[in-house]
Structure formats: structure tokens, C-alpha cells
Chain A
Amino acid sequence: MITLTIDGKRVTVPKGTSLLDACRIAGADIPTLCHDPELSLAGSCRMCVVEVAGRRNLIASCVTPAEEGMQVETESEAVIEARRIILELLLARHKLECHVCERDGDCKLQDYCYRYGVKDSRFKGEEPHFYKEDPNPFIERDYDKCIMCTKCIRACAEITGAFAINLKNRGHNAVISTAFDLGLKDSTCVFCGQCIMVCPVGSLVSKVEKGRGRTYQTEKVRTVCTYCGTGCTLELKVLNDRVVGVNSIRDEKLSPANRGALCVKGRFGWDFIDSPERLKEPLVRKNGELMPVSWEEALDYTAKRLKEVKEKWGSDSIAVFTSARTTNEENYLLQKLARAVIGTNNIDHCARL
């Protein structure tokens, strides 16, 4: 264990702890753009700089190990000045259209500019033109908003392992690109959207969610994905009684199977919930056609016909298929209904299919 002083507060942390983590343990609110606890270190955005007594330069805390006896200031004048300049440099190539941006209110760049009072950039020069028209139906790539944190590249490689994107060019012309600059459809992209999950700004957004409501407008409900058996935790975003999007939850405690990672179905496959084809009324076949009826009529008719069959042919002339799609509680009830009410063990489901 080592002990150091952060903003006048002594903290003791295990050897090998990063200075960033030590600062956070000490209660300091350190801004970061390129840092992600699950990804390899980039140390590129420099937002996390802190002042360490006896060191000539400000230090990027995410890539510096905490050391015994360090005296650290996390919001000194020099630190604040450095962060302001970094933000101005980032703004110089960031397309400012917060009023129509999906991530308005949920954007780290916006939050930090607000926090440090950065309104505009003194470094405006040639405007960037990196917008990428990508004709896939899932992910919008507007690199005019990209701040080059490279988290998308690292998430693609280190969480999903798709290796679909990387950096192209250098300096002012640097941009995120697929191999040969093709569309995502023609790359190794699997449309998991982990890049959207880690993007700190509005550069990568879900085309499926676009225009349906911003994060701060939505209520969030933590639940489990409805597709395969992995049991991924996800958060449904709800606005006006409609599901309008999906968020990742990266806390392992809440998301033990997936730690926020999802696949194309989990992240983009939710709008069937409001499909116009949803069944909204009970139907009963009359003169060969399925006609909408009241619940009373449908349920009475169902019970009457089941009773008739049971009386005429016996309990074992009825079979029940329960569902691997429905909840445990519903499966329990249906097998109870088959066994205790109808009186048959003819119950099964699509486990084999």
C-alpha cells in the first residue's frame, strides 16, 4: 500500500493504482474523455491532467501510477487552464450543433465546456469535413463531431474483437476509418454498437433511436434481453409509454452476463414492440375468419371448447406448448394449468428447436 496526498487529503491505495483512480478514491472529480476502465490506456486526451508537487509538467493521471508521498492538486489554476485549452482545441474540430444532437445533455464535451466555461475556440481554422455517409441501418458516423478519443477503436477490438475500425491519417486529417474506408457493411463490423456505448460525444449514434428522444427525456428501466440465452442486462429507454432506445449498463454487479456489451439484436432489435402488426385484440374464428372480440368472449369461448374436448376425449387429448420466450412465472402457471386444471402431462416447449 502507498499513501499520497490529494487536494490536501491523505489516501492509502494499493501499489499499482493509477493516479486517476487514487484521485477518484480521494473524492476528486477528474474529467476524462479517452479513459475507460475496461479498455487499454490511451493517455491521449490529457483532460485528466493534475499538478504534482516537484514535477515540471502537468501529469496525465490515467497513465501515471500513484506513488508514495505524492502531493497532488486536481483543480489548481494551471490544471484548469490546461483543461480549458484542451477543450478549445477539441472544439476547433467539433461540429457544434448541440441543438439537434442526439447526445445533447448526455455529452462529456458539453459537460466539461460547461464546467470550465469554454464557450468558443481561439483555434478555429480549416473546418473539418469528416462526415461519413454510411448506408447501414444501425450506426451513424458523424466524424465532424469526433474528438479522437479512440475509445470506439479500442471497444471494437478489446470488447467485441471485430477490429472493424482504426485510425487513418495524422494530425489535423486524422479520422476513424474502416479498412479501405469502406462502409461498415463491407467491413468486419458486426453492428454490436459497442462503439456507440463508449462514444463520449454525438459522433456515433444509433440510427434506430435517432429523433425519438434524448437521454434526459427518457425514463430508464433495467431488464434482460429477449433474444438468446446469454441473459444480457440492458436498459430500455422509455418516453410517453413507448420504448425509444436501449442503453448499456456497464456495472458488472447489475450486468453480470455482459457488462454492458450487446449484439445487434439486443441493441437495435427492439422496435418490434411497437410494430403496427402487434396483436391488440383477442380474435375468434367466425365463419372461417379471425374476428376481433372482447376478452370476455374470447376467454369464455376458449374455456368452453377446452372443456368440451376434455369431456369428450379425455384430458390427454389436449396438449399444451409453453414458451422459452415467456417468463418463469408464466411457464410455471401454464404447466400448472396443464397438469392441475386440464389434467395432462402433455406439456412441452421449443427447447429442442
Chain B
Amino acid sequence: MTNSIKDLEEEAEVIFLIGTNTTENHPVIGYKIRQNVLKRGAKLIVADPRRIELADLAEVYLPFKPGTDIMLINAMMHVIIKENLLDKEFIEKRTEGFEEVKEIVEKYTPELAARICGVPAEDIVKAARIYAEADKAAICYAMGVTQHSKGTDNVKAICNLAMLTGNIGKPGSGVNPLRGQNNVQGACDMGGLPDVYPGYQKVEIEENRSKFEKAWGVKLPDRKGLTLTEAINAALEGKIKALYIMGENPMLSDPDSHHVEEALDNLEFLVVQDIFLTETAAKADVVLPGVSFAEKDGTFTNTERRVQRVRKAVNPRGNAKPDWQILCEVATRLGYPMSYQSPEEIFEEIRSLTPSYAGITYKRIEETGIQWPCPDTDHPGTPILHKEKFVRGRGKFHPVEYREAAEMPDDEYPLILTTGRNLYHYHTGTMTRRVAAIDQHKPHNEVEIHPRTAQLYGIKDGDMVRLSTRRGSIKLKARITENIKEGVVFTTFHFGEAAANHLTNASALDPVAKIPEFKVAAARIEKI
């Protein structure tokens, strides 16, 4: 997030939610947005193919067709430019490349967008006006925007919209991706990515490499590596021979499970470090028992970039070991001795190499976590990014054009399948499926379907159905609801026995981020 969670509760006058089912996926942020509407009169714009709870409080609800984000946002920009609602001063002083974007969005009329997105043109105009006319307007998005074959372009379009109206670098505004996992921000910050060292220092820049070579005392590879989705493909092609997986369950989380299974089976050696024998761990040659968040010390970094202390409450179960200790043991046996005495000692090394974490110490975050960037120990942290200037200097407008999703509905697969989470379960269910109360409350997967779509296929609420795509099929219960767009069906990826990712498309990746298109796959449904 460029801004803080608190901004959504106390500062923002307008919040544009696109591709985030906030009350189910980030419930506490959802409460705050709702209270902002109820107590302070903030206005909501909700764009989502599913009528999420917050749509009930929205000034405008845009149930647009999955995969048409750029069409919608470019049309909003078209309106803002045409009606002269843009922030000229911000564009002149803080940005570059506006003219190219202006030229491109010229053809994205609300009428064209209405046809492609399946929402009324006047609602697009209304949404554009509400967003542009506010003094402080925030955009929040989640995987509904990014999990597309053009996810990167979707995000660029959102950034264009924010810059066009000067809604960046001030309280209550910003571009706010809501991150879905407890430490996904931290895993990225720490260089758990194939192209960057900790603090997003690119591996292909020699200066960065020599800094880390000096610190770590070894020669480092100079080319960026493979992303997760690419590595799975490479395993299938026999180019990746061994895989070390810590705390991940690609058998359920990655697109096209059958494809993942083949890839894992093709490995010479698979190590999985986890707390349960997940679907992935069951395929391993070695399983190393790590521990849960309650059994170790360390830090997590939340979606607002706040580095917070995680504290050990109980001892590791059985002979399991804290994951950091396991990693030290493995590294040492591979001929690179690691002998950290505590997570704090590791953190000290992190901050010596990561400028944005340099000023954060365990002592400073004993009570309140600090938001990076925090360059020195006197720095209070940074609740709002890009305040005076952007990291690169001027904010760059990136013209982006609408393209269809990789797999569009056809006669054989006439529906659009979109996937996600529900309130009760988390990710691949490794933890929540083993929480007795939660699994009792939500024991089965369901597919949401609009009454008119259901009628076409003779499906009634609660019927068992077969949901299929070109990758495979799963059996699950139908839940008939008007909260989803006609022709679109939704299911979750929490359940191993009816796993959404048997169905999703592994070949449609965003060209930059390599993110899979979980939000659009052509599907069909039949009663069984």
C-alpha cells in the first residue's frame, strides 16, 4: 500500500474498490472501510463481477465482466479528461508521459466500455466523477486485478488513474494493493523473488551484486532466476531437477494441478519444509517439520509495510524445529556455515544490507511496528509513500490498451470461471481445514452461480454439479445467488477434494509478473 490502513478508516473521502472482496479476504480492513462510510460519509465505488458485501454501501456498483479492467479504467480516465476533472498541477509538476495516455484513452468512450464490460455507461461516468471530484480518493485492489494475463497492465491503468487526479502522496489517497498473506510483503522485501536481493536491489546490477558478494563472502549468479510458475514449467521440461519448498503448497495453490503434479513427479529430488503433510509434502523425498507462527520469534511485514514482531508462545511441537534453524543446518551441511543464535541476529544482518529496513531494530518495534522505508534509527518510518516525489523522480504514465483474457468463453465452455477465497478459509486450507470449528462451519467447496445461469442448466441450489474447464473437472455443490454476474461462476481454492486449481489455466501468464490468470477461465457446468 502507498498509504496506511488507518487512512481508509479516517482520511479517505472516496474509496474505489476494484477486484477486492475486502470484508471476506481482509476482514478488518473491510470493517474500517465500512465504518468510514457509516460514520464519516465516505463514498464507495465498487467494481467486481461479484456483488461483494461492500457493494451494498456503494454509491456506484459496477458488476463488470472478468478481465475487462483496463476497458473500465481507461473509460473512467476518458471521462475525467473530457470533463476536465484532472489535476493539472499534479500532472505538470509530478508526472511525465501524460500526453500518450490522453491519446490512448480518447477511444475508450463510456459507451464502448459499457458494451465490453457489461455495465451501464452512465455508471462509469458517475464513478469517474465521484473519484475525480474528491479531495482524497483511495484505490484498493487485490488479486481480482492482478491475477490476469495482463495483471501488470491492470495495475498500470490504476496508477494512471491515481496520477491523473493527483491522488497519490497525500493522506487518504493512494494505490493500495491489499496483500493476501501474513508475510507476503516481507517475503518480497527479503528478496524472495528471482530478480532482486533484499530491499528490491536488482541482481543484474553489478554494484548490488558486489555489495552482496562482499557481505556473504561468495561469488553470486549474475542473471535473474525463474519465477515459481516458470520453475514448475521448467521442472516439467526436465530443466529443473531439484526443488526446495518451504511453507508452500503448489499442488493446491498453483494453476492446473495436474500440470503441477506432473512437474513435481518429474523431479529428481524434492524437499518440503512445512508444518503439515500437505498435498505437496506428500510427494516429497524429504519432509522437514517446521513450526507455526506461535512457536518462533521473528518479524512479519504487513500490507501497509509495517514490520511487526512475531513472538514465540509455545515450544515446537514434537521434534519440529523453527524454520530458521533448519535453514542454518542445511546451509552448513552444504558447506556454508550459518550459525545465527537468534532471529534478531539475522534481522541485524538484514538491516545492514537493506536500506529500507536499516533503521528498524527489534528494540524499536517492541511496542509498535514501523512502516518502511526507514533509513536510519532516528527515522519514524513512512506511512505515506511518494509524498514529495516518486522514487524514480517523476511518476510515469504508462499507456495501456485493453486486450481480451487469454481464454474466452466459447460454445464448448460458455461460462467464465473466476476463483478466490471465502471469509472462513485461508489459501490452500493447510491451517484452516485443520481448525475444528472453521471446518465444521464451512466443510465443503461450493460454486456460486446466478439463478438465470443455473436455470439454463437445470441446476437448483444445493445440487451437486460437475464444473469443468479444458484442464479438468471437479465435483461440488452449487450455491445459487444473485450476487454474481450472469454467465460467471465463482469457486474457492481452499479444498483439496474439490480444488479450483484443477481447472485454472497455467499457460496464460502475465508477461511481466508471470502471474497466472486465476480470474478468467472458460468453463462449463452440469448437474450430476
Contact = CB atoms under 8 A, between A and B. Distances in A.
B118 to A, nearest CB: 27
B331 A346 contact: no
Interface string B236-250: 000111111111101
B328 A349 contact: no
A348 interface: yes
Contacts of B301: 231, 328
Interface in A205-253: 207-208, 219, 221-233, 236, 238, 241-243, 253
22 contacts: A208-B437, A223-B293, A226-B431, A229-B26, A256-B306, A257-B5, A261-B28, A265-B426, A269-B431, A269-B435, A298-B288, A303-B334, A306-B242, A309-B268, A317-B242, A319-B231, A323-B183, A342-B334, A343-B220, A348-B225, A349-B184, A349-B228
A282 B288 CA distance: 5
Contacts, number: 470
Interface of A: 136-138, 158-161, 185, 190-192, 207-208, 219, 221-233, 236, 238, 241-243, 253-254, 256-258, 261-266, 268-275, 277-285, 290, 295, 298-303, 305-309, 312-313, 315-353
A347 B437 contact: no
Contacts of B367: 253-254
B334 A347 contact: no
B368 A279 contact: no
Contacts of B299: 327-329
Nearest to A237: B313
Contact of A265 (B191, B224, B318, B438): B438
Contact of A227 (B182, B242, B288): B182
Contacts of B231: 319, 321, 346, 348
A257 B9 CA distance: 11
A30 to B, nearest CB: 26
Given A279-B275, A318-B240, 13 more contacts: A230-B28, A231-B308, A233-B308, A261-B28, A265-B432, A271-B436, A299-B326, A299-B330, A317-B240, A328-B350, A337-B338, A338-B244, A348-B193
Given A281-B319, A298-B286, A224 B516 contact: no
Contacts of A349: 184, 187, 192-193, 228, 248
Q: For chain A, what secondary structure do more than half of its interface residues adopt (helix, strand, loop), or is it mixed?
A: mixed
A232 to B, nearest CB: 6
A219 B190 CA distance: 32
B513 interface: yes
B391 interface: no
Contacts of B518: 353
Contacts of B329: 295, 299
A76 B330 CA distance: 69
Given A228-B182, A280-B289, A298-B286, A340 B228 contact: no
B438 A268 contact: yes
Pick the most buried of A266, A320, A321: most chain B CB atoms within 10 A of its CB. A321
B286 A284 contact: yes
Nearest to A157: B38
Contacts of A231: 182, 300-304, 306, 308, 369
B313 A236 contact: yes
A241 B314 contact: yes
Contact of A190 (B23, B179, B268, B434): B23
Given A295-B321, A345-B221, A275 B328 contact: no
A266 B308 CA distance: 16
Interface in B33-92: 34-35, 38-39
Given A300-B333, A309-B269, A324 B187 contact: yes
Nearest to A279: B289
A275 B184 contact: no
